[in-house]
Amino acid sequence: MPWVTFVPVLLLAAVIFLGPGLLVMRGAGVRGLPLLAVSGPTTVTIASAVAVAAPYAGVGYGIVPVAACALVLTVTALVLRYVLAMRGIVFGAQPRKSFLNAAQDGAGTGPILTPAQEWVRRGAIVAAFAIPAVIIAVRFARIIGAPGNISQTYDNIFHLNAIGHILITGSGSSLTLGNLTTASAAFYPAAWHDLIALVASTASVSVPEAISAGNIVIAAVMWPLGMMYLISRISSGHVLPMLLTGALAAGFSSFPYLMIDFGVLYPNLLAIAIMPVALALTIDLLGLNPTKRRIVPVLCQGILILPGLALAHPSFVVALFGLALPLLLTKLVRLAAGFRRGEASGRQLVGFTVLTAVFIPLVFIVWDMAGQSLTSSRWQPYQTVSQAIGEVLGAGPQGRHVSLVMFVMLVAGLVASIARRKLVWVLGMAFIAAGLFVVASALPASETRHFLTGVWYNDSFRLAAMLPVVLLPLAVLGGESILRGAAAIATQQRVGETASRMLRLPGATALDKIAPAAVLLAGVFAIAVGAQFGAVGKEQVLASANYRTGPHAPLVSTDERALLDRLPSHVPAGASVYGDPWTGASLTEGLSLRRSVSPHIVGRRTPEELVILSRVDEAGVNPVVCPAVKKLNVQFALIFDDHEVHGGAHPNTAMDKADSAPGLKLVDEQGAARLYQVTGCGPLGNQ
């Protein structure tokens, strides 16, 4: 399917990802930018929670129960608002005065803007979103190649088959998704898979096409909206920082692009896209945002998105706790200063001190408990500490090219965050995230290193992907200081006077307004263009190589894909198919929507599965095979060439005698790929 004709699928995917949450949050009275930003994470919670609850309710997972849950929550929010309003308590939004005010606090409070200012700010919000949305969508399309292409990587065997498993069984619970077999059922964060399954079933597209659509929505829609929301909590929604957010959101190679390259780490893609919203709500909850918001609505929004973050990937809940430490300490310092000035009560100070004293050790306990085992955390450092710091400042971690524009913005942001002492917590968050990356990528293996980064398997790729969440605000601060300085120099006025004349003073001349505005807009445009050179371009080239198919593709070749596409015409629904997962032959669930005996390379196996995985070609000859065949309903078997996804060698005897096996019948072939029917055990299932 060409990308042009794929646009309706993208639009439907956007509705699925944002629609349920948008409905609920609007019912709760949220509007403006907060409404758009929080909708996606809220939908993640709804979809993943419904997937967990559906088996207990005896219903299959799909768009209907998700929509029903969203409607129930919306009605509940409306009733709650009505009840509270009858008691004189405003839970949701006040009558809106301007779009900017809604972007600032979601409640419509603040000064009334002139119509011209209102339209300028509306346009700035739209532009700030559109710039990264278009850039990221185009780059993702170029990386993927065609909507139906798949990442030819090890982890994608699980991701493809997990979505197929949900579509086949109607069960997408994170509690049991595990390694996709009964014997290895266990917890696995399935929020990403649940949403992609909704896209596939609702849009009637293949699993690979649903993945392409869903990932583009996460990266090009949820990510920019989330970062715009986070920046609005730092800058009070001013125009220039919002435009800079749009200019820079697509300029980091490590997110979102790296997540569809390395691994692939699709669940991490979703979790990190939620992180900016979680941090923005934390800022509001602690009252660090100059534009105040009501605590109860913010708390309710936080409660609604936190489960979704956990079921997208729980390691980033741990990361959220760590990044919240500078925010908590900043609030404590401000309360202490306020107490000395008589602006805060002793009760407030003592209460928050106790909260901080409890939270800090709690973070360490959770951090330790969430750490993965050493056996599964074998990632080793690959560079020196100074190189790691250089990669952070150059926005080119994991050996990508340094971006000169991002380097200048980040260095300027370091200076600006220190100079603007009220925003030093922005530097604190960046320091924590950068420190974790430096530890994982540069420090030798030790107990301390494993404690700090074992939550992420000591994998610097995962930590590199989190960097843009906290580096982008720093870069925006740097870009703002540079451009405002340039505008002031261009008009030979002080920065404060320029900003005042641009936005407020009625006596300013047209030239006074136009000249600095032109400098600022030109600067934003130059930054947006410059940020696309260097690391991002290299990452696009590296990532695109994983999505190209051919006769010798690492996971599924052109011939093998053609055979898998035809497989449903031979294999009845409900039948199981044997295939060696190392060669991609087990991808019958993800690419053909037919059950696989081994849908993932790893995992516990039942005795019957072990028999099939070692001697299915002995059906009708070896007496131990047919009982296993009948119990698992293995009606067909695939054989691909011996090329393995990681280039390794795992000899398999399951189909080594397929050509001469009396219990197998060749039914289809394409090149070296062949599909056999298991005939040696008599009639099976409904064949």
Encode pLDDT of 165-191 as tens digits.
999 999 999 999 987 877 777 899 999
Strands laid side by side in the 576-578 sheet: 595-596, 576-578, 634-639, 673-678, 664-670
| Distance of alpha carbon 469 from alpha carbon 429, whole angstroms | 9
What's the pLDDT band for 316 if we cut at 50, 70, 90? very high
Which helix or strand (DSSP H or E) is residue 596 part of? strand 595-596
In the predicted model, is pLDDT for residue 487 greater than 80?
Answer: yes
Length of the chain: 687
pLDDT value of residue 519 = 83
Over residues 553-574, mean pLDDT: 95
> What is the per-residue pLDDT across 274-296, written as a single tens digit (0 to 9) for each?
999 999 999 999 988 876 667 87
**pLDDT in the model for residue 106:** 46
- Full-model pTM: 0.93
Q: Which two tokens stand for residue 284?
A: 């509001």
135-147: pLDDT as tens digits: 999 999 999 999 9
Which pLDDT band holds residue 98 (cuts at 50, 70, 90)? very low
State the pLDDT confidence band at 512, using cuts at 50, 70 and 90: low
- pLDDT at residue 107 in the model: 43
- Name the band, by pLDDT with cuts 50, 70 and 90, for residue 513: low
Cβ count within 10 A of residue 87: 6
Rounded distance between C-alpha atoms, residue 546 and residue 556, angstroms: 11
Half-sphere exposure for 672 (CA within 13 Å, toward CB): 11
3-state DSSP assignment of residue 674: strand
Confidence of residue 37 (pLDDT cuts 50, 70, 90): very high
Max mean pLDDT among 20-29, 77-86, 601-610 falls in 20-29
Tokens 């729980």 -> residue: 314
Gap between the Cα atoms of 63 and 40, Å rounded: 15
Q: Does 502 have pLDDT greater than 60?
A: no
Q: Which amino acid is at 630?
A: K
Cα(first)–Cα(last) distance of the chain, in Å? Answer: 32
Q: Which residues are bridge partners to 639 per DSSP?
A: 674
- Whether residue 505 is predicted with pLDDT greater than 90 in this model: the reply is no
pLDDT tens, residue by residue, 385-441: 999 999 999 998 988 888 899 999 999 999 999 988 888 999 999 999 999 999 999
CB 527 within 8 A of CB 405: yes
pLDDT at 356 over 70: yes
620: tokens are 């009708």
pLDDT at 497 over 80: no
Mean pLDDT of the chain: 89
Residue 341, number of CB atoms within 10 A of its CB: 8
Main-chain dihedrals φ then ψ at residue 109, nearest 5 degrees: -95, 155
Provide φ and ψ at 576, rounded to 5°.
-105, 150
Match 């807009």 to its residue by tokens.
521
Give the angle 232-513-473 at the CA atoms, nearest 5°: 20
Residue 666: helix, strand or coil by DSSP? strand
* pLDDT number for residue 110: 46
Query: Domains in the chain, ordered, with CATH?
Result: 558-678 (3.40.50)
SS3 for 69? helix
Which pLDDT band, with edges at 50, 70 and 90, does 605 fall under? confident
